[in-house]
Amino acid sequence: MYSTLVEHLFDVTDDELTERFRALELERRRVEAEMAAIVGEGQRRALHTVDGHRTMKHWMRAQTNCSSTEATRLRRLATACNALDGLGAALLDGHIGAAQAHELARLRTHPRVGDQLHSVSSLLLQHAEQLSYEEFRVVARRWETLADLDGAQRDDDASAERRTASVLQLNGSLDIRASGGSGLVTAEMVGIFQRFVEAEFRKDVAARTAESGADAPASALPRTDGQRRFDALVEIFRAAVVAPADGVAPTPVINLLVGQATLERLVTRRVAGNDAAPGADVDLTVERIESDGGVRLSPDDVLAAAVIGHVRRVVIDGAGVVVDAGRKRRLFTGVAREMALLLAQSCAHPGCTVPARLCHVDHLAEWERDDGGTDQDNSKPRCSTHNPWKSANRLTSRRDRFGNVVDHREDETPMAPVGRRLQLADEHPPSWRTVRVEFCRLHTPEVVAAIAGLTGSPGSGPPT
C-alpha cells in the first residue's frame, strides 16, 4: 500500500532519500528508452494491425490508456531515436532526461531543417547532458533559428502581420489582450514591462521594510505578484500620456545578441544572396540571434539594428575581455554587472529559476576566501537567497571544460543532476570568458548596401 511506502520513507536518511530519487529517475529514463524502442519495432512490424488498430498511436492508447498527446510524443521519440545516432543510447544510459530527448525529437520533425539535425546531433546531445533543461531548450531553438534563417524571417513576418490588440471594459473590469508582432517588438515590450514590474516590486519592498523591517518575510509584501503586474501595466499607460510626443526612450531598452560568425553570415546572406547552414562545429553557446531575454529575432531586424538601430549591439567572441576590474573593485557595478548577467538565463544555483536580471552577481571564486577577481570569467548570477547561502555553506564553484559552472559542497561532492558526466578542467577555452560590447555602428559599404536592400529578397541589392 502507498501508506506503507510513505511510512518506510520516514526512517531513511536525507542522503538515502536523495539517492533513491536519483535512482528512480535513471530507471524512468531507461523505461522511456525501452518503450520508444518497442514502439519503433512495433511500427516496423505493423503490430497495430493485429488487433485492428489504424495506427501505432491507437495501439499505444489501447495498451496503456494514455492520451493522444502522450502517444504522439512517444511515437515521435521512437522515430528520432532511430534517426539520430546516440539519442537512444544517451536516454537508455541515463545521461539525458526524457524532456531533453523529447525536445530533440521535436526538432527532428521540423519541416525544413529536421533532416539536417543528424549533422549536429552529437553536439546537441552534449549540451543536453551538460546544461539544465531550460538552457538546453534555448540552445536547441537557437540551432533551429540559425539552420533556417529564411524560415525564421518568414515566421517573424507572419507574426508581425497577425498582430492585434484590444483594450476593453467587461462588466466594469479591464480586459487587455495582444498577440503577434515581430520578435524585436516582442523583446522590447517584454523588457519595458519587466522594468515597470520591477519598479512596483521595489515599491512593495520599501513599504514592507518601513512597516516591518528589512528581515520581514516575502508574505508581508502588500501586493501579490499578479497585482503588481497589473499596476505596472497601468503605470505604462499613464507614463505614455504624460510623455512628450517627441520624447526619446532611455538607451538601451534591450540588448540584441549576435555571434560574430552569425553577424558575418547575415551580411553575406544579404549582400551575396548565398547562405550556408551552420555545421557541426558551430558554438551554440556563442552563436545566436536573439534578445538578452531569449526572444528569437528576425535576421533582417538584427542586421538593420547593427547599422541604424538605437539599440546596443553586443558581439560575443574570443577576442579579449573588456569588462575586467581585476582586484581593484569589490563589487560588480555598472557595465561590469550588466555584462556578467547578460548571457545568463537564471540564477546559477542548481534548480533555481529566478531570472538573471533579478539576481546579484556572485564571485565564483570568493573575493575574500579565494582571492577571486571581479571579472566576467569569475562571475555568475545568484539570487538573493542563494548568493549568501553559497558563502555560508562554503560551496566552491568550478567551470567544466565546456564552460559550465559546477558547484561543489564543502565535502567536495558535486551538486550535479543524475546522469551528467562531469568533465572538470583547470582551464577552459577563452571563448567562455569574453563579451565584447560595441556601441558603434557598422558603416561599411557592404553592410550599408545590405541594409538598403532589406525591402527586397536576400541578395537582390538595393531597390531601384
Among 2-11, 91-100, 261-270, the range scoring the smallest mean pLDDT is: 261-270
Judge whether 190 lies within some domain. Answer: yes
Burial readout 346-382 (b: 16 or more C-beta within 10 A, e: otherwise): bbbbeeeebbbbebbbbbbebbeeeebbbbbbbbbbb
Residues 298 and 446 grouped into a single domain? yes
Judge whether 171 lies within some domain. Answer: no
Torsion of CA 197, 201, 202, 206, to 10 degrees: 150
Judge whether 155 lies within some domain. Answer: no
Burial readout 302-330 (b: 16 or more C-beta within 10 A, e: otherwise): bbbbbbebebbbbbbbeeeeebbbeeeee
| Secondary structure letter of residue 185 according to DSSP | H
Average pLDDT of the segment spanning 341-363: 84
DSSP alpha helix (H) spans, 253-400:
260-272, 299-308, 334-342, 386-392
Where among 101, 124, 147 does a domain terminate?
147
How far is 92 from 101, CA to CA, in rounded Å? 11
Taking 60 as the threshold, does the pLDDT of residue 17 lie above it? yes
Q: What percentage of the chain exceeds 70 in pLDDT?
A: 81
Give first-to-last CA distance, the chain, whole Å: 78
Judge whether 38 lies within some domain. Answer: yes
Higher pLDDT, 241 or 50: 50
pLDDT value of position 428 = 46
At residue 346 the predicted structure's pLDDT band, cuts being 50, 70 and 90, is confident
Residues 290 and 416 grouped into a single domain? no
237 alpha-carbon distance from chain centroid: 30
Higher pLDDT, 256 or 27: 27
Residues 418 and 401 grouped into a single domain? yes
Judge whether 396 lies within some domain. Answer: yes
Could you tell me if 254 and 245 are in contact, meaning their C-beta atoms sit under 8 angstroms apart?
Answer: no
Judge whether 325 lies within some domain. Answer: no
The pLDDT tens digits of the residues spanning 32-70 come to 999 999 999 999 999 999 999 999 999 999 999 999 999
Residues 259 and 368 grouped into a single domain? no
106 alpha-carbon distance from chain centroid: 17
pLDDT value of position 312 = 55
Taking 70 as the threshold, does the pLDDT of residue 263 lie above it? yes
Taking 70 as the threshold, does the pLDDT of residue 318 lie above it? no
Residues 139 and 74 grouped into a single domain? yes
Average pLDDT of the segment spanning 448-460: 49
Average pLDDT of the segment spanning 14-36: 96
What is the average pLDDT score of the chain?
Answer: 82
Residues 280 and 223 grouped into a single domain? no
HSE (side-chain half, CA atoms, 13 Å) at 95: 16
pLDDT value of position 336 = 59
Residues 96 and 77 grouped into a single domain? yes
How far is 264 from 290, CA to CA, in rounded Å? 15
Judge whether 249 lies within some domain. Answer: no
pLDDT value of position 425 = 61
Q: How many domains does the chain have?
A: 4
The pLDDT tens digits of the residues spanning 173-231 come to 999 999 999 998 998 899 899 889 989 999 999 999 998 887 788 788 899 999 999 99
DSSP alpha helix (H) spans, 249-369:
260-272, 299-308, 334-342
Residues 220 and 109 grouped into a single domain? no
Residues 89 and 130 grouped into a single domain? yes
Residues 303 and 397 grouped into a single domain? no
Residues 298 and 218 grouped into a single domain? no
Average pLDDT of the segment spanning 388-394: 89
Judge whether 328 lies within some domain. Answer: no
Residues 114 and 192 grouped into a single domain? no
Could you tell me if 361 and 379 are in contact, meaning their C-beta atoms sit under 8 angstroms apart?
Answer: yes
Domain that holds residue 291: 255-320+438-452
